[in-house]
Amino acid sequence: MKLVILSGGLDSVVLLHWVLANSESNADVDTIMFDYGQKHKKELVYAKYWTQLFNLGSMVYDLNGMFHDSALLGDRAMPYNDEDMSPTVVPGRNMVFISVAASRAMADGYSSIYIGTNKDDRKVYPDCRFTFLEGMATALYKASEGKVSLEYPFANMTKKQIVELGMQLNVDFDKTWSCYLGGDKQCGVCGACQSRIKALS
């Protein structure tokens, strides 16, 4: 059984399609989602859309209050460009996500956890870098006595390349959410929206 960390964003939705395409059955894949107080909580609407469409097992964890000191939580000003996205770092977010997923995986017999970090994110987000991912993979392997692996197949791919893969997998990108603001529509001007527009162009 495989457990996919799913946000509803472009990268994780393509990841879900890729995992499903490389699995014998949809029944072999479940998803795990996190409500951590993010402004862009609407991403979870899209995450749930895909789990329902593919009839996947899913779980949502409430981590409200776990994190602070990030523009994604309202603690800092949101950047309106894609050059300095450092205010959007949520300290320890992927570490916590992977740890929660790992606990569930070890308890319920999943063999692998998938996360959709990409190459473009490495310069800003410490928990998207190979050193972090490799460290977490090693920790998970040891904690699970070799029974659970951490997979990060997009870690050396750009968002543009992930979009190209998504097109091959017939992903409907209109059913993904990238905007970091909390509106009803994607703003098109925040750093996340600009990265999305560039990748899709």
The tens place of each residue's pLDDT in the chain, 201 residues long, gives 999 999 999 999 999 999 999 999 999 999 999 999 999 999 999 999 999 999 999 999 999 999 999 999 988 888 887 668 899 999 999 999 999 999 999 999 999 999 999 999 998 999 999 999 999 999 999 999 999 999 999 999 999 999 999 999 999 999 999 999 888 899 999 889 999 999 999
pTM equals 0.96
Can you tell me whether residue 176 is helix, strand or coil? Answer: coil
Q: Which domain holds residue 66?
A: 2-200
CATH of the domain at 173: 3.40.50.620
Q: What is the number of structural domains in the chain?
A: 1
Q: What is the structure's pLDDT at 83?
A: 64
Q: Which residues of 14-38 are buried (b: 16+ CB within 10 A; e: fewer)?
A: bbbbbbbeeeeeeeebbbbbbebbb
Other CB atoms within a 10 A radius of the CB of residue 147 amount to 14
Torsion of CA 134, 135, 137, 143, to 10 degrees: 160
